[in-house]
Structure 1
Amino acid sequence: MKCAHCRALLFKCDPDAIAGVIEIKCRRCGTFNCLRPASPHSTASRAAEGGNHCGSTFPPRS
């Protein structure tokens, strides 16, 4: 997985390895990247529960 802003490598994982939403800060540019599972079932159930609806990236905090 790479940063959406600067394309720096954030981490490596197997396909379908993410079970929930992950928010990770890029150590290079400071952008917060919000990653969701690839499975539509997990995403749909989280939306139905009223879970956290974060975007794909957030601007770096100063």
Structure 2
Amino acid sequence: MENIRCGSCRALLFRAGRGAISGTIEIKCRRCGTLNALRPPEPKPERRERPDQGSANCGSISR
């Protein structure tokens, strides 16, 4: 479980499991009244593969 806290006063807003937030959530802190907007983390971009250079030039020196 992950503790979600107010960005202003650090009061505990709620506890959630990893990946539990699937969309944007707005929650008002009952201690200080700050409106906190929470979003799920952005997925890591997929790594693009390099174009195939061919196996003839693999870093070895041919004589």
Scaled to the shorter chain, the TM-score interval is: 0.5 to 0.7
Unmatched 5+ stretches in structure 1: 42-62
Task: Letter of the 1:35 partner, please give it.
Answer: L
Name the count of aligned residue pairs: 41
Q: Which is strand-richer, 1 or 2?
A: 2
Unmatched 5+ stretches in structure 2: 45-63
Residue in 2 aligned with 1:6? 9
TM-score normalised by L of structure 1: 0.61
Dislocated runs of 4+, deviation >3 Å: none
TM-score normalised by L of structure 2: 0.61
**The structure with more radius of gyration:** 2
Q: Which is helix-richer, 1 or 2?
A: 1
